[in-house]
Amino acid sequence: MWTFEHTETASASPSQVWARYAEPTTWPEWDHQTASVTVQGSVVVGTRGSLKPVKGPATPFTFTEVTPEVSFTDVSRLLLSRLTFAHRIEPTAAGSRFTHCVTITGPLSPLFARLIGKRIAAGMPTAMRALARLAEAVPASADPAHT
């Protein structure tokens, strides 16, 4: 098993951060390692999609856990392995703290950790800082938590 986790803070509320998560087709706006995302529905358990990294083939995924404005998890099946991305948002006095955790499990996890894990880990902090900036840019009047 291989895992990497990173946490960022933002002045954005959890609902402002969630608004960025809830539109998967816009994920490339904050994740420079993602070329495109397609989904077959909204962000709910069971919805399937496909994520095309800038470097690498498109990978199908399924949302396996979704709690709006709190967390979501998506899972991709790799050859004899599983790639799991867990995302959590916590409110803070100044806005929110959000964490992304990626885990690769299965017999070929050491291989996938070398092939894709290191690249994911290297880019995650930058992507999360970009996510924070975009979430903070949403006007408070457009944020349901402030109405």
All structural domains of the chain = 2-138 (3.30.530.20)
Backbone angles phi, psi at 101, to 5 degrees: -130, 125
Q: ∠ at Cα 122 (100, 62), nearest 5°?
A: 40
Per-residue pLDDT of 1-36, as tens digits, reads: 999 999 999 999 999 999 999 999 999 999 999 999
Per-residue pLDDT of 96-132, as tens digits, reads: 999 999 999 999 999 999 999 999 999 999 999 999 9
For the entire predicted model, the pTM comes to 0.91
Strand partners, 140: none
